[in-house]
Amino acid sequence: MLHPDLLDSARALSDRIVALRRAIHAEPELGLHTPLTMAKVRAALAHLPLEWREGPSTTGQVAILKGSQPGRRVLLRGDMDALPMDEHTGLEFASTVPGRMHACGHDTHTAMLAGAAELLAARQDRIAGEVMFMFQPGEEGYHGARFMLDDGLLDPLPQAAFALHIMPNAPHGMVGGRAGPLLAAADQFDIVVRGRGGHASMPHDARDPVPAACAMVTAILAMVTRRFNAADAVVATVTQINAGTAHNVIADHATLRGTLRSLSPQHRTQLHALLREVAQYTALAHGVEAEVTITEGFPVTICDARAVAVGEAVTRTALGEQAWRDLPAPIMGAEDFAYVLEKVPGAMFFLGVAREGDDWRQCCSIHSPRMHVDEAALPSGTAVLAGCALRFLERGFD
């Protein structure tokens, strides 16, 4: 049974959802430890019949709502950490902490998840099963989801998992998703090209690492276009190149740094191997050496087709037929909810939060210091999260 009244119930909670969002937004925290944010969540939900779990690695916590009867177990997740950047929105509740801003919408994710807890707790006597609310720090590169999994906070594992991510440059109230790869694996590479320094006027007496480093940049780009099928996207981008200290000195080493993005575990492994190969043989051709370090980031975010179907059905029922959008292609950003989806079938969806009536194509994107969110869209996200939980508890993936 679907629940078309969820949006009305979520709108009745709008003031509380917005108040929590603004309180979190004004005091952003970074990394794996977000105690102020977690305290705000606990205070907002203190009146609900939730059981709380916490672990040693992060300040993240999992709240459990047990229904009146045994049944399935489902997880809803919201992330809590901010970004290390200054805010330039001019909002009355803008960040009060210099160099920190909720520019990726995690404040809204947390507030919508808290709202979903309210909606579901109000239906506790009609719920068979359990709902796990995962309040997670450390999404912005800190692997917070992996730490919470390693700490056993999700044991025994749920049978389905759902998450929502806002998009400020997408139509108001639109919910989008797709089966299969949704977001890319993201890894960092560092290459140190070691040569022999010398006087810039006598390069024949040195082993200049700079031409080798420049050749590596073009070789890496050619590697992507010539070794991978363009229909299965792979991205390798060199974002930094550094060498030398003066105009008349040949450096003894140069460094390259960049990102690797892929949409399958197989291409991720192949990309790592080919990068090492390209660096090694380009260096050899220039008479220098190359040392490659690859730091693995988040894995590919892969959505289960059955979970996406749940999200689509809930969205069309709760928000209207026109609210759902099939995403035609993956996005090459990354998301550490991928760690949960490696272990549990589930899906992440995107919620458009551009102001209704605005040209959403002109709105600032996530990670912009001027990013705005239309808070009127937040009850829609709350309704979708709660609806996914209810539908799975009642029907599973049928």
pLDDT at residue 274, rounded to an integer = 97
Secondary structure class of 24 (helix, strand, coil): helix
Q: What is the pLDDT of residues 261-285, one digit of tens each?
A: 999 999 999 999 999 999 999 999 9
The reply to whether 178 and 201 lie within a common domain is no
The reply to whether 73 and 171 lie within a common domain is yes
Beta bridge partners of residue 249, listed in sequence order? 199
The reply to whether 101 and 85 lie within a common domain is yes
Note the pTM of the prediction, 2 decimals. Answer: 0.93
pLDDT at residue 363, rounded to an integer = 80
Residue 196 lies in a domain: yes
pLDDT at residue 361, rounded to an integer = 81
CATH assignment at residue 331: 3.40.630.10
b/e 349-382 (16+ beta carbons within 10 angstroms → b): bbbbbbbeeeebeebbebebeebbbbbebbbbbb
How many domains are there within the chain? 2
Q: What is the pLDDT of residues 351-363, one digit of tens each?
A: 999 988 778 787 8
pLDDT mean by block of 10 residues, the chain; 398 residues: 81 97 98 98 98 97 97 98 96 97 97 98 96 98 97 98 96 96 97 96 95 97 92 93 95 97 94 97 97 97 98 95 96 96 98 86 87 96 98 96
Find tokens 């992330």 and name the residue. 79
Handedness of CA 112, 118, 121, 127 (dihedral sign): negative
SS (H, E, C) 366-386: CCCCCCCCCHHHHHHHHHHHH
pLDDT at residue 2, rounded to an integer = 57
Asked whether the bond before 156 is cis by omega within 30 degrees of 0, the reply is yes
Q: What percentage of the chain exceeds 70 in pLDDT? A: 99
Secondary structure class of 52 (helix, strand, coil): strand
Q: Last residue of a domain, which of 245, 275, 295?
A: 295
The reply to whether 317 and 344 lie within a common domain is yes
The reply to whether 283 and 353 lie within a common domain is no
User: Containing domain of residue 96, as a range?
Assistant: 6-182+301-395
The reply to whether 379 and 329 lie within a common domain is yes
Q: For residue 95, how many C-alpha atoms fall within 13 Å in the half-sphere facing its CB?
A: 25
CATH assignment at residue 223: 3.30.70.360
Q: For residue 56, how many C-alpha atoms fall within 13 Å in the half-sphere facing its CB?
A: 2
Q: Which of 121, 37, 108 is nearest to 382 (CA)?
A: 108
b/e 228-255 (16+ beta carbons within 10 angstroms → b): beeeebbbbebeebebbeeeeebbbbbb
